A and B are shown apart, each in its own frame.
Chain A
């Protein structure tokens, strides 16, 4: 009898967390560690609702062959064009054009990438490489393998007000709360250099996300960028992730970028004879 009871107790102990994890959270609830649905390791995937999906017609239009077989791999570009105000369009297009020409020459422009700077927000959430979600009582933490980026979403804090008081950073200041199975997040305080696809933004930019858990193994991040200075309307896109429980994030230190255009030997460095072995 005693062993039977012990067995039941063990089953309940094991079952309890499962039931708790599966139960939908209450609207507006911010209690810690009761929304473990995002915990784990995730990889970006192509999905009908994912903004990176490129149709055959669009692929042809984009001349994607130029970039290898991008169609066969997770596409991390945002298909939706930024709704820039008229006065900023030509400068942005010029940047894209110069960037393309520089790439063809093998001398990429000086950008955050060429200087080994991390993406920051919102680009980090493209999930260039897999990411892991951790949680502590006060925050949810996204760790992106690329550049080993770490982003905190605080569940127990209010957003900084006014927005322009937020100290500029690559990932800014994010606050969030759960509404059902969706983590609602607001981010402000992104520094000027952190630009997705070279699109400029002001210190009034806000990034709103609805990180929706669609199933135990799928979530979508619906991102909306608002910027009254540079954009005419919200810029929205969605990225989809699937759980990858077996994956362990690797180190990522950007230590030898031979495309660094800061170097006066830029093009020579790119494909010069390799240095001697140590």
Chain B
């Protein structure tokens, strides 16, 4: 028996539509459901890795906290970016970030609480700013200031 998508099953359609949204192959590999876009954070740190690969580009970033009298601790973040194609079309260059660079990044952090997230915008040591392509969405936190 065939299923009807008519008005009588409108609620069913609505349910399927909501579920079907999860199948959007955003960035080709997974949805952004694992990232908390409503509580973006800003990170300032030192680049430990810049990997220009498909299906994603990754930035490794050491972020130091606990300055002053307290003991400083370093947290190692992994920041997921779009892929080289999307970033290339957004003005990035494959070698524009290097290990040791001091950068600032706004990310949508992992909901799991692990030290990682989806890049929204990055500010390089020379002051240039780059987004993460359209599908990743815009930053809701300024990369400038505190």
Q: Residues of A with Cβ closer than 8 Å to B?
A: 58, 61-70, 72-77, 81, 83-86, 89, 93, 96-97, 99-100, 103-106, 108, 113-114, 116, 128-129, 145-146, 197-198, 232-233, 250, 252-259, 267, 270-275, 277
- Chain A to chain B contacts (Cβ below 8 Å), 21 pairs: A61-B14, A61-B17, A68-B32, A68-B137, A96-B20, A100-B22, A103-B31, A104-B34, A105-B112, A106-B110, A108-B30, A113-B25, A113-B29, A113-B30, A114-B29, A146-B28, A197-B25, A250-B84, A271-B110, A274-B58, A274-B78
Stretch at the interface among B47-55, B63-71, B121-129: B47-55
Q: Are A62 and B17 in contact (CB under 8 A)?
A: yes
Question: In the complex the two chains form, what is the Cα distance from A233 to B30 in whole Å?
Answer: 29
Would you call B72 an interface residue if the criterion is a C-beta within 8 Å of the partner chain's C-beta atoms? no
Question: In the complex the two chains form, what is the Cα distance from A255 to B17 in whole Å?
Answer: 32
Task: Give the size category of B's interface with A.
Answer: 35 or more
Would you call B96 an interface residue if the criterion is a C-beta within 8 Å of the partner chain's C-beta atoms? no
Which of A89, A197, A259 has a CB less than 8 Å from the CB of B23?
A197
Q: Are A73 and B85 in contact (CB under 8 A)?
A: no
Q: Are A250 and B2 in contact (CB under 8 A)?
A: no
Question: In the complex the two chains form, what is the Cα distance from A64 to B32 in whole Å?
Answer: 10
Minimal beta-carbon separation of A201 from chain B (angstroms): 15
A93 with B26: in contact, given A62-B21, A73-B134, A270-B116 (CB under 8 Å)? no
Q: Residues of B with Cβ closer than 8 Å to A?
A: 1-3, 5, 13-14, 16-26, 28-34, 37, 48-49, 51, 53-56, 58, 60, 76, 78, 83-86, 88, 99, 110-112, 114-116, 133-138
Chain A residues, CB < 8 A from B84: 250, 252
Number of A-B contacts (CB under 8 A): 167
Task: List 19 additional A-B contacts (Cβ < 8 Å) besides A62-B20, A67-B135, A197-B25.
Answer: A66-B32, A68-B37, A69-B134, A81-B13, A86-B2, A100-B19, A100-B31, A103-B31, A106-B114, A113-B28, A116-B55, A232-B2, A232-B3, A252-B84, A252-B85, A271-B114, A273-B78, A274-B51, A277-B49
Chain A residues, CB < 8 A from B1: 85-86
> Across the two chains, which residue of chain A brings its CB closest to B1?
A86
Chain A residues, CB < 8 A from B17: 58, 61-62, 81
Chain B residues, CB < 8 A from A114: 29-30
Q: Are A70 and B60 in contact (CB under 8 A)?
A: no
Question: In the complex the two chains form, what is the Cα distance from A267 to B114 in whole Å?
Answer: 10
Minimal beta-carbon separation of B60 from chain A (angstroms): 4
Chain B residues, CB < 8 A from A145: 85
Q: Are B58 and A108 in contact (CB under 8 A)?
A: no
Q: Are B21 and A63 in contact (CB under 8 A)?
A: yes
